[in-house]
Each structure stands twice: as structure tokens, then as C-alpha cells.
Structure 1
Amino acid sequence: MKKKTAFTMALLLWLNALNALNGFAQEKPGFNVDNLELSREILSRNYKGSEQTLSVFTLRIKGKQSFPASGWTIYFNTRPMSVGGADSLLFNIEQVNGDLFKLRPKKGFTAIKAGGSKTITVLSTEIKNKTDLSLGFYLVWDSAASKAYAIKHKNINPVKLFEETETKLSADIYRQNQLIKNLPNSQLTRIFPTPVSYKENQGIFKLAPSVSIVADQEFSKEAGLFADELSHMLGKRPVFKGNAEKNVVRIQKGELNGAEAYELSVTPERILITAAGPAGAFYGLQSLKTLFPVLSWKGVQKEIAVPAVTVEDAPRFGFRGIMMDVGRNFQPKKQVLKTLDVMALCKMNVLHFHLNEDEGWRLEIPGLPELTAIGGHRGHTLDEKDHLMPSFGSGPYPDVNSGSGFYTRAEFIEILKYAHARHIRVIPEIETPGHARAAVRSMDARYNRLMKEGKKEAAEQYLLSDKQDKSEYRSVQGWNDNIMNVALPSTYAFLEKVVDEMRAMYTEAGAPLQTIHFGGDEVPAGVWEKSPAVNELLKKDPSIDGVDELWYYYFKRVNAMLKKKQLYLSGWEEIGLRKAMVNRQKKMVLDTRFAGENFHADVWNNLKGNEDLAYKLANAGYKVVLTCVTNLYLDLAVNPAFDEPGQYWGGYIGIEKPYQFIPFNLFKNPKDGANGEAMTQQASAGKTMLTEVGKSNIVGIQGPLWSEIITSAERFEYMMLPKLFAVAERGWATDPAWATEADGLKSNKMYQQAWSEFMNTMAKRELPRIDHYAGGYNYRIPTPGTLVENGMVHANVEYPGMVIRYTTDGSMPTVNSKVYTGPLAAKGTLQFRVFNALGRPGKAATVTTVAIKSLPKN
């Protein structure tokens, strides 16, 4: 018996050693992935007249090793794609989930020799700009499938296919830029956003280190923040005195109409801010700061010259917000604070914080560690037991990508304190019941862990999925498992747990919490239809008339939970809609059942057929935050240029689209359609108009910044600015005269003048200011407009005062290149590029000319 045991042990040791060697061999299968390069070349954007794009993937092998014929899988994130033509006999591309796809070889494929290459024909949905390109390529060996290797990837000059479009676009930009006059600084209002009443007076106040601050006790916090900022600008913190009359900044309480109202008076002797409440005092100080010379934040100043003015001001809307999506791609605490800084400067007062998505959960919730341990990270995985799968090109490595990250409880409390000090409400969004995959998968992981520990009751406590659900669906973003099951009591236990933990954070931060945003958008057809839990609920509760009525059931329960905690419910427009049969088709229509429940609906859909949806909801009694996609979505690309980042499904949005937005008369927006077309009277025929009751229910506007393509802080700021200035202007300033003028010709003339004034103020004052403010911002610098006319090359810039530099040899212009001062006579390839005051450039515009005529003699 002892001999047999010894033999068995020896055999086991030998087998273990053999397995270890095999494992090592599988881990290193004889090919170094660093020697594999993958490129994509776009051959045709509208292949055979379809909306498909024909491309070629090329696998190129370097080094001395052959690439094997089998035993590998290449994963990547992409729009829907398949192998085309004869190559479909050698390869297969299939969807894993969401935007993650995988490329596999078939039996007919043979090894690629060292130094060789193999092309693969692929068909995809239409590519319109760089946002549509595939990203995040990595390889996994079948023999060691838990480990992944990033693949070097590049696109072969896809912009060539867009040259004709780009030339026309550049000419269109040139013509649009011509409408913007370059105005002298003396014609510009020095305070931003535009105040209700503004008058410049004689003289200046010299703000020096010796200045005193006098503030009523109610405004001590606002005065303290201002003093802290001055200490960096002047090298010394101002002294607080109670009786100073000259060389003083005085902040006092007054009887004004509205908590955010203020009056500002600057004379050579003193600065006086009168406010109804702390918020008004804060905004008075922000206006004072916009009177400072733009370079005041560049370094320590001996003194700051403040022009004498008299201002009376108050905001138009009580809700002036930005929606910051950190669910799809993460932004660290530092970037959130920096966003709050520029919001405060623009007098914006709501940060709608989108904290979860299918692709990520970003807030630590005590007692639910899986939410951030699993839902807060993305990387290669076969089972998602440790983290979520890659999305949006986040790649294979879970700790080094923009898809991974979360805020600790302490960090979130710090964000809340920072925002509250700047009079910014943080509205947390917990996206439900759709767009919830990160939460669903995290709670699945918690369930599996506790079930292994034999704790069935605890495992099911916060479960979000019915394990027996066989429903088939696919969300707009490609997911087939991203919806919370609203029939499970554990779903509501989970939501209450999250809400209670959030409330505790707000309480600790001393910040107000009035509402929680529960999402509610884009739940696809097919959801819950084959769920045993749902079928059981429908049997028990005959008031629920089928699966579609689960929508009302869900938000009724969530609303009741929030009411008990003295909170109201916010959500996307769908919280005020229901499914109904219209002309034999199931569509979303107005649901008045929640109209009196103080629901706040963010209405984004003003696309064709839904231009009046916001007004329908407001007229019915819902509180509406205008979030209209065609004018306010900050993540949409500025224009159709291939290299311009951004989505485009809702149209193209530059700084003009939010500026020209008319909240109370959407049908009069100068350009309202997704493609920038003018709204016509015919388009508004039969539409719901805003009533006086409806008008009282429009609580404000916000600009959403969705983050599918935002993989860095620099890209975040590029997409946000300067569009945010236009959203801030429209949220704060009164209805401009051009918006209410009935005469179309007069209105257009007034608009062009106002638009020029805004662009001059923004380009000459506010952008140079944020070059240094809060460490500086990577705002978008425009691409110049160009036009070839009568043998001459013309160029201009959208932002008055910025410099165009150019080259005539095809090279990229630098800060040392020639300054463009007038039309050029040249041939060959000319490059034009705009530079800001710091010498930072925008994207280049290329003009290829042939035999251009010489400049005519005078």
C-alpha cells in the first residue's frame, strides 16, 4: 500500500510538471505578438451603392517566425462587421456582445510566413468619420485563452476617400466664417454670460495685494473662495475688514428678485456686490472675474485693472447644466473638479453626473464591492468574473485603459463639497432599467460568490437578473443582457441600497440632494417577455396589462421609494411616455399618469417627427429640462470632416447650434434639423405649441457630453469647449431680440450682429482666459475655411483674432510658419492652420492647386 501511494504521488508530480511545461509552452506558443501588425484600408464608403463600407484588413508579419494557421482569436471593438467575398471561406467575424467582435481563422486558412502578409476583405456599416473606425485590437491564443496581447494597429490614410467632401466642406466653412465680423474690443460686453443690464463707466479700480474684503456673514464662504483665488493671482491673500470704505471689495445683502440675482458696481474707489442670497453673491464674483484682463491667471500680478461698470443681472433658467458621462469612459476626480471650475465661471449650476452604463459602474457603494471591482474595470475576459469585457477600444489590459476607474466614497464626497461651494448641484444618475449591464453583471458576480459560500438568501438579496429568463433582445448599442429585471423584489432592494448610501455621502458632504436621476431610456423590444419572474408577477397583479405596462409598474415603485426619502424622480423623456399601437405600429406616446408627480424629464428627442415632444410633456405637467439633440449634444462632431471626432447620428453641432437655440419657440430656431437645415413653417404645421402652463414647466437646459469616444481628459475638454459657452449663454441670458422679432429679414440681420458679438467675446476674451484658468483647457481650435476662387486661394477663421499660418510646400504649418494676411497665388499643396494666443494649433486645411494664376498687378 505504501509503495502504491509513493508511486501514485510520483506519477502526480510528473504529470504536474508536464502540465506546467505544456502551460509554459502554450503561454509562449512560438510567435511573438509584437511582430504582428494589423492595418485597415477603406476601399469604398458606399460599396455597390449600399450604405456599407468595403475595407481590407492586412495582417503583416515581421521577425523570423511564421504566424500560425489556427489556434488564435483576434478581438476588437467595431461597428457591425462581417467578412466579405471569398475571404469568408477563410475567416469569420462574429459579435461577442456590445461592440466587441472577434476574428477567427477557418480550416482553409494557412500560416503566414515570416515577412509575409494576408489581406481580409470586410464589410461594415458606413464610415463617415474617424469615430467609426475599429479599435482595441488584441490577440488571444486558444491554448492560453485567459491571456491577451495587444496588437499594433493603424489605418491607412482613410482621409483620401473624403478629399472631395473635405474641399466642399472647407468652402462652406469659409462662407459661414464670412458672416462673422471682426469687432473692436470696445464694442464687446465685458461680462459673460450676457447680463440683463450692463453699463460701462469712467475709470478703473486697481485690484492690488493691499485690497480689503468686506462681506456680510451670510456671504463669508463665497468671499473666502474669492480671497483664495486672489491669493494666487496677487501673491497675497486680501485682508478681511469690517469698516473699509476705499480699496475694498464689499459683498452685501440686498432685496433683489431671485436667490441667484446680483448687482455689481465698480468705481475707482471700490467694488460693490449686492445679492439676494449666497448664490447671487457667488455669481457677482464670477462676473467680476470676467472683467479682469484675460492674462490675470497667467502668473502673479502686481495689480489687476478692473473697468468701472454698473450691472444688474439674474439668470433666465434655474437649471443650467452639463451632463457628464463617466460610465462609458472614465474621467478621474481631477477632471471632474476642473469641469466644475469652468462651469462655475460660466454660472452653470447643475452637474448631471452619469455614473453608470452598460460599460461601467463608477461609484463605490459600501456593502456592494463587486460594483466597482467588476463593473469599474474593463479588459480581456472569458467569463467577466473579474471585470467587464472591453468596449470602445479600451483594449485587453484592465488596469491601463480609459474604461477602468471609479470614485471612492471619499473622492465622491470631495466632489460634492467642491461643487456645493460653487453653487453647483450634483444630480447623480443611476441608469435603469436599461443601460445597466455593469450593474447586472456585477450583481451576478456577487450572486455567484455568495452561492459558493452557501449563502443563498444573501446571494439573491440584490440580484438584478432572472436566472431563468430566456428573453431575446438586442439594445441599440448591441447588448443582449443589459436590462434589470423589474419583476424581481431584489432589483428594488438594490436600488434602495444604492440610494441610501448616496444619501449618506451627500449628508456627510453637507451638499443638497433633491433628486436622483433613474435614466429610463432605450429599453429594447423583447425584454422580459420570456422571464418566469415577470410571468409570475403578471399572474399575481392583474393591474399590469402585459409586459409593456411593466414600465409604469417600475417607475411607480421607484417614485414611491424616492418620495419616502423626500426626493423627486428625474429621468430621460421615456419616464413620461408609454408604448401604444399607432397605425398598427407600436410607438412611444405621451403618458399623463405621472404628470402630477413632479417628474423631471430630460427631453433629448427633437428629431423629425418628435420636434414638439418637449412641449407635449411640459404642457401635460411634467417638469422639462431641454436637452435637445440637434442643438445641445456636446459629443456630436462639429462638422462632417473625417478627422473631426464625435458622433453624428443627431447631426453636427458646432458652437453656433447651441447659441441659436430658442427654448420657448423651437420651431423658430434658425437651423434646427439634424443636418442643419432651416426649420420651415410647414415643418411646424400640426405640431404642439408651448402653452403658458407648459412654459412654466420648462425648468432649464443642459448640454450632454456622452463619452463613447472620450478616452482622455484632452478629448473631453476638446468636445466640451467652447460649445459649453454657448449653452451657458442660452441658459443664463434673456431671450435675445432676434429670437422674438417677427420680421424674418430684421431677425436675421439682428441675429448676425449678435452672433458676431458673441463670437468676438468668446474668442477674444473667454478662450484666452481659460488658456490659464484652472490650469488651462484643451478647447477646440477651429479648422480654417478655405476657398479657391478666380485662381486665388482664400482662407479665414471662425474665431476672430486667432492667427492663420500656412505653408506652400505641403508641410504642416508650425508656429513659425508665415502668417496668412490675404489671398495667395500659388500652385501645389497649401496647408493652413489656426493658432491660438499660446501658439497651440488646430487641425490643418489642405488645398491642392494646379497652375494657379499669379496675383494680378495693381
Structure 2
Amino acid sequence: MNAVIPEPRTAAPATGQDPGPRTPGPWRVHPADPGLTGIAATVQALLEPHFGSRLLPLGTVHRHDVPTLTLALGDGADGSPAPIGVAPDGAARPVDESYRLTVEADGILCRAATPVGVFRAATTALQLLVTSGDRVPGQELTDGPRHAWRGLLLDPARGYLTPGEVRQVIDLAALYKLNVLHLHLTDNEGWRLEIPGIPELTAPAPDGTPRAFYTTDDYRELQAYAAERFVTVVPEIDLPGHCATLREALPGLPDAPVPEWLAGRFPFVAPLDLTDRATGEAVAAILADVCRLTDGPFVHVGGDEAVGATDESFAHSVRELRSLVRKSGKRPLGWQESSRAGVEPEDILQFWVDVPMMDLPDTSDEIAARPELVTAGTTLEFVQALKSFFAPTDQDLARILDGGGRVLLSPQSHLYLDRAYAPEIVPAGREGDAARLGFPTYRPLGVEHTAAWDPASHGIPEDRVAGVEATVFAESVESLDDVTTLLLPRLASVAAAAWAGRAPEWTGHRARLAHHGRLWEQRGLAYLPSTEVPWVTAHEG
């Protein structure tokens, strides 16, 4: 078998006795079409952490003793159906990403009808070269995606990553054929994007400490870097709740009206009141700058967990946020809660939770049986308040569908990768990381649990699915190593389901995963070597 993830739709061994090329190198990358020269440079950059000096410079002439990774435009169709969902680049129909890859004695040929299809083939070739041991067996693979939108949310608002670290995550996403990077740029804990119209948002703290944020140049360069890997950046400015940093930068903004039942009961950062003139002007300036700086067609406006706003205030805020984004020529996205402001056919809402999915206890005894809840100091009163607050989420999905909107699938149950790992699958010596990382009240689970998720399990008609997006919120992280430890190996499972449109078969998937630790190590990425997977060491080939 090959160890490619997502598993290719078809895989056939080469005819005859072709042993395939040796992997130790040297190797060269060759664009057979002039229009693929830029993609060849990107593929070369992705291969360098694995090949180093064994990778010959681009433009090296053909040598019979050096295998070649050839990139070519041609027939890449694999007979798979057209992808479903929303195209991240805003096109009316998703681009053809199907490809055909052929391994022969003199190298690997990547063919597709489009440049993006050629790039997807090249990432498959990279996985083959890294995971196949000393020789890539002769074979032909064909593949194409089921979902057009395959995303990953990063949370630099809570766990800042430098631009260089974000680039490492973009590379990782591209290697597993993800094509959207959703940046959660603002929250109570931080504001991470320079807004030229409101410099106070990223000014030094009152004690003079500089704040970590992305300058407008940083943001433009990250988008360009992602685009070279066929990844679209979607920024999120999370409002009207999650706004402590905005309130700190612009003191005096009034609170949204509070529902009578909640007033004074629980502490929260009051959501914004967008009926207030000063607040509306500030938010309009922010979104105008974000839209102007964003190359892609989508801007996410949040709309989740606006604790402390009346239904009327929340609905007004969401409608205003959507309107401001559209006035700037972009398409708004929002979390599922924003469906309560109304849904129209052009709306895309991100489905992440309902009360059953939250897996909350009903009694004090059930709390006592959950170590993660005991450690977090969870009380029955707090659980009951959570259930009451989140009760409307049980109808959000129906609201989206009834209004004719599209659903972006990010269910907390499987695609929130800030979930702690179950202690029983954590290898010796990694107990500290496993105990420290993950949202404190989620039930710890294993890699197999994530891999079991089926995109069709929610019963949403295919024509109403926008796509699939994993998230890794950063309440518990302090470094890139922490982020990738939460992501890996689980991100590969989500990528497989998003690409194929179904859960990967676990026995085969874990066998393929076993070879990917080598890939992550060569790229300098930390991961959790779950005992569920029979990891293959470098010398085992």
C-alpha cells in the first residue's frame, strides 16, 4: 500500500516489473509547462525540509541518473463527481482539483487539467517520497476532492504565532490538501491585526509593553504565501461579543442591552451595542480596513457567544456586521448563532455546537466522574447555566436550512482539535503535554474518535453544505509546538474526511498515519504519537 493521506480514490500498481525510483536522491523538480514555473518553485520549497542539498536547483538539466518530479498540464480527470460546496476563491463553480500521478523508474509525473490539480498531485508525490522508504513503488494514482471548502481555523488572538510560524502551518495544511486558513484574529485576549484607521487597537499596553500583532505588510505577505499554495485566507473579526480588547482600546463604548434574566448573575464581557453611533463608526472603520486588506472574497464577522445581549440587540448587530462587509465588496461568514438574525440563501453559517454535542453532565455525581470537569472546578449551577444559554443552538441548524443558507461544518464533537487527548492513548513521557493542552471542560478522546467523523452524519442535503473546517482554539497553548501537538495526528484524519467526503476506514488510515510521524519530524513539527497508531521509525522504511 501507499501511505498517502487523504487516501487516493484509485491506486494501481505499475505494469511489468518497474521497481520505481529510489528516494534518497538527488532529485529535481521540472515544470513541463512554462505556466507551472511558479508552482515548481513552491513545490521545491516544500520539498527542501525533506531533501536539503539532495534537491537539485530549479532549472537543472535532465540527467539519466537523477529521478525527476515532473509537473505537467494534461488529462488529470479521475472520473470523480464534481466537488460540492462553496469555492473559497469565490468562483461560481469550484475549480477542478483532480489529478493523475504516475510513478515510473525515472521519476514521478504529476498531471492535471489545472495548475491547482498539478499542485495537489505534487503534494501527493511529496508524501510518497517521504513515507515510502528507500524506493517509491511503481504505481498510478488518481484522485479528486468531494468538498470544495476544506479549512483550518487558527487562533492567534489567544495564542499568538509569528508570521513565520503561521507559514509553517500553511505548509502543513497544503500538504494535506486543505485550502482555507481561517484566522481568528480578535478576541477578549488579543487583537492581532493592524487596523490603520484605529491604531489604538495595536498600540503598546498602558505599561509600555509592545503588543504582538500582524502589520498590514505581514498580513498581505501571509496571504500571498498562502495563495502560492492554493490556500485562501479568511480573517475573523469576532463581534459583537468577544470584544474586551476593542473595549480596552476604545474605552467608554456602551454595553448592549442585557436580558433581565441574566443581569448581574454571571460575569462576562458585555457585547457591543451597534445602535450606538460611536460604536457603529468604530466597527465600520475596522471592517472597511479588514475588507480592503483581504485578497480573498470572505470576511468572518463572528457572532458567537454574545453573552449579555438581548435577542433584539444581537440580531441588529449581526445584520449591521453583514451589511458593512457587503458594502466593502466581500461576503460575510458567521458562526451558527448569527442565524438568529435571519438567514438568506447567500448566507454561510459555521455550525459548531448543540447541547447534546457539548456532552455535559446532568448531576453532581456525573460531574464527579469526569476528572477534567473536577479539575476545572465545574459546578452543577454552572453546567445548568451553560445548558440554558446554549439551548437555542439546538435549533440553529434548522434555522439555517429553513432560510436557504449554507452550512460550514465544524462540529465541536470531532473537528475542534483543541480537545485533550485521552490519557489511555498518551505514550509514556508525554503525560505532561497531554494534561496541559486542550480546552478544560471537553471530554478527552483519542485519534480514532476524530477519524470516525462522517461529514454526511448531520443529515444536511449536499447542496446546502458549504464545506468542512477544523478548528484549533488556543486557550491552552503557548507555542507553535503546542498548536501542532493538538493538530497532529488528528488534522490528517479531518483532511481525509473533508477531501473524500466520508470517514477514512480506521484500519487502513492508522496504517498510513504510522508513516507520517517521519514527515512531521523532518519539518520540525511536534506531534502526539498516540498509542493507537503503530508508528514507523525512520530506519524501518
Match of 1:664 among 441, 446, 456: 456
Q: Give distance in 2, aligned partners of 1:269 and 1:196.
A: 24
Q: Contact 1:570–1:599 at 8 Å: present in 2 too?
A: yes
Q: Give distance in 1, aligned partners of 2:481 and 2:29.
A: 38
Pairwise CA distance, 1:571: 0.8
Q: Contact 2:273–2:317 at 8 Å: present in 1 too?
A: no
Aligned to 1:492: 280
Aligned to 2:419: 636
Aligned to 1:351: 181
Is it true that 1:417 corresponds to 2:224 in the alignment? yes
Q: Give distance in 2, aligned partners of 1:475 and 1:283.
A: 53
Higher RCO (CA-CA < 8 Å; seq separation 6+): 2
Matched residue SS, 1:330 = coil
Residue 5 of structure 2 aligns with an amino acid whose one-letter code is: F
Residues 221 and 650 (structure 1 numbering): CA distance in 2 closer, same or farther, change over 3 Å? same
Aligned to 1:766: 516
Pairwise CA distance, 1:514: 0.8
Q: Contact 2:27–2:69 at 8 Å: present in 1 too?
A: no
Matched residue SS, 1:555 = helix
Aligned to 2:72: 252
Q: Give distance in 1, aligned partners of 2:278 and 2:115.
A: 42
Match of 1:732 among 496, 499, 514: 499
Aligned length, in residue pairs: 471
Pairwise CA distance, 1:479: 4.8
Match of 1:336 among 166, 182, 188: 166
Aligned to 1:434: 241
Match of 1:553 among 291, 300, 316: 316
Matched residue SS, 1:252 = strand
Matched residue SS, 2:314 = helix
Q: Give distance in 1, aligned partners of 2:508 and 2:29.
A: 35
Pairwise CA distance, 1:604: 0.6
Residues 485 and 620 (structure 1 numbering): CA distance in 2 closer, same or farther, change over 3 Å? closer
Q: Contact 1:720–1:779 at 8 Å: present in 2 too?
A: yes
Residue 157 of structure 2 aligns with an amino acid whose one-letter code is: G
Aligned to 2:343: 594
Q: Contact 1:473–1:480 at 8 Å: present in 2 too?
A: no
Aligned to 2:41: 224
**Over residues 409-440 of structure 1, what are the superposed CA-to-partner deviations in whole Å (9 max), with x where a residue is unaligned?**
22222211211111111110000000011012
Residues 622 and 717 (structure 1 numbering): CA distance in 2 closer, same or farther, change over 3 Å? same
Q: Contact 1:209–1:237 at 8 Å: present in 2 too?
A: no
Pairwise CA distance, 1:292: 0.6
Match of 1:289 among 113, 126, 133: 126
Aligned to 2:103: 266
Q: Contact 2:29–2:68 at 8 Å: present in 1 too?
A: yes
Matched residue SS, 2:534 = coil
Matched residue SS, 1:771 = helix
Aligned to 2:406: 623
Q: Give distance in 1, aligned partners of 2:466 and 2:305.
A: 24
Match of 2:352 among 578, 601, 604: 604
**Over residues 743-773 of structure 1, what are the superposed CA-to-partner deviations in whole Å (9 max), with x where a residue is unaligned?**
xxxxxxxx8xx3122112112x111211112
Q: Give distance in 2, aligned partners of 1:328 and 1:291.
A: 36
Aligned to 2:331: 568
Match of 1:799 among 502, 527, 533: 533
Alignment of 1:282-431 (within 5 A): 282-294=119-131, 305-373=135-203, 385-386=206-207, 405-431=212-238
Pairwise CA distance, 1:211: 4.0
Q: Give distance in 1, aligned partners of 2:292 and 2:217.
A: 12
Residues 548 and 758 (structure 1 numbering): CA distance in 2 closer, same or farther, change over 3 Å? same
* Bigger CA radius of gyration: 1
Residues 500 and 218 (structure 1 numbering): CA distance in 2 closer, same or farther, change over 3 Å? farther
- Larger helix share, 1 or 2: 2
Aligned to 1:704: 471
Matched residue SS, 1:265 = strand
Q: Give distance in 2, aligned partners of 1:328 and 1:252.
A: 42
Q: Contact 1:633–1:653 at 8 Å: present in 2 too?
A: no
Q: Give distance in 1, aligned partners of 2:41 and 2:281.
A: 42
Pairwise CA distance, 1:713: 2.2
Residue 344 of structure 1 aligns with an amino acid whose one-letter code is: A
Aligned to 2:364: none
Residues 558 and 212 (structure 1 numbering): CA distance in 2 closer, same or farther, change over 3 Å? closer
Q: Give distance in 2, aligned partners of 1:419 and 1:477.
A: 44
Pairwise CA distance, 1:307: 2.6
Residues 496 and 281 (structure 1 numbering): CA distance in 2 closer, same or farther, change over 3 Å? farther
Pairwise CA distance, 1:602: 1.0
Residue 289 of structure 2 aligns with an amino acid whose one-letter code is: E
Match of 1:483 among 260, 266, 271: 271
% of aligned pairs identical?
24
Match of 2:302 among 513, 519, 524: 519
Q: Contact 1:357–1:431 at 8 Å: present in 2 too?
A: yes
Gaps of 5+ in 1: 1-187, 297-303, 378-384, 388-397, 445-462, 507-511, 528-546, 579-592, 667-688, 737-750, 783-796, 803-835, 839-858
Matched residue SS, 2:400 = helix
Pairwise CA distance, 1:278: 2.1
Q: Contact 1:576–1:595 at 8 Å: present in 2 too?
A: no
**TM-score, length basis structure 1:** 0.51
Q: Give distance in 2, aligned partners of 1:248 and 1:639.
A: 43
Aligned to 1:300: none
Aligned to 1:817: none
Q: Contact 1:198–1:309 at 8 Å: present in 2 too?
A: yes
Aligned to 2:366: none
Aligned to 2:377: none
